[in-house]
Amino acid sequence: KTRAAEPLKVGVYGGYFQESFDKFIFPDFTAATGIEVESVAEPTGEAWLVQLEQAARAGRAPADVNMMAQTPMLKGQSTELWVPLDPAKLPHMENLLEQFVHTYPDGRIDGIGAVAWYITLVSNTDVFAEAPTSWADMWAEDKRDTLGLLALATNSFLLEITAETHFGGQDILGSEEGILEVLGKLAELKPNVKLWYRDEGQFQQALQTGEIPMGQYYHDVAGLAAAEGFPVRSTFPKEGGVNDSGSWAVTRASTMIEEAHVFIDYMCQPEIQASLSRNVGTAPTVRRDLLDLTEEEFSAVASDIPPIVPNYQMYAERGDWLEQQWIETITS
């Protein structure tokens, strides 16, 4: 066992998420490895990426290990922000589903799946007695001015949702004309949207009070809120929830590469993944058969309905163009 002079700084999304990690995961890790952990609240992936990048240029690491969503993972690759990970030091990596091992184009590993989560359709139970069943419900006439949606193309995945719901699949997103067509459909949604949020808390507050009774949100956090007694529910629409995930990635400015490997490896253990599912509400990144989750526990964090898989490559390839089209669509 190693004992570091400084704590290992681990970046996780703030709020409920961070609190759950602090409560259920990190103490056990410290107990098991002797490595102190300091959790750092991360903002939305894009903002955090910029922070990490700036800090790395100054040789600083706001957090050593970071939980990064897929789009920022890809963006970070272009500046070699992520330290290549050594598979030899990650024996538990073999437990992972293969899509959760993230690599540079040349094959070097730069990220290991940390947790998976679903973006689902959430609603306030006081306002809507009946749960909505389809993403298409968002387009309904009677939902005027009631929705809260994520404001960035890269974290809302509304293009994929629209394509799956109204265009029978994501093939249409293969060309710029197709994307524009999807955006056109998405534009019809605008009268129904009350809040385009950048930051979760803003919507969560509004959802809990019923101010904005419906929208897209994180399945795990909605579950935690419901567990605390707020009139909130999360529904997997029949088209599927959006399945996104976060990977552990280590910034090149980190001086604690060894400890980072220990941490990432620790997190790949099935018991830990199960604990995450039970306590944090995220979906596991290891193979189902290795887990001791009951059927009930599993369906609480995931669904059997096939998920909508985000089109990360599209964001990486058409970055600025897509971003400009997106902002013009939603702001006009």
Binding range to another protein, per CB under 8 A, among 82-90, 95-103, 261-269, 314-322? 314-322
Q: At closest approach, how far in Å is the CB of 127 from another protein?
A: 11
Phi and psi torsions of 163, nearest 5°: -60, -45
Q: At closest approach, how far in Å is the CB of 253 from another protein?
A: 10
Q: Is 162:182 a contact under the CB 8 Å cutoff?
A: yes
Tell me: does residue 62 bind another protein (CB under 8 A). Answer: yes
Closer to another protein by Cβ: residue 181 or 199: 199
User: Per-residue x/- marks for another protein, 261-300, CB under 8 A?
Assistant: ----------------------------------------
Q: At closest approach, how far in Å is the CB of 79 from another protein?
A: 4
**222-251: which residues touch another protein (CB under 8 A)?**
228
Binding range to another protein, per CB under 8 A, among 27-35, 115-123, 178-186, 194-202? 194-202
* Residues near another protein, by CB under 8 A: 13-18, 40-44, 46-51, 53-55, 57-60, 62, 74-79, 151-152, 193-196, 198-202, 204-206, 208-211, 221, 228, 316, 319-320, 323-324, 327-328, 330-332
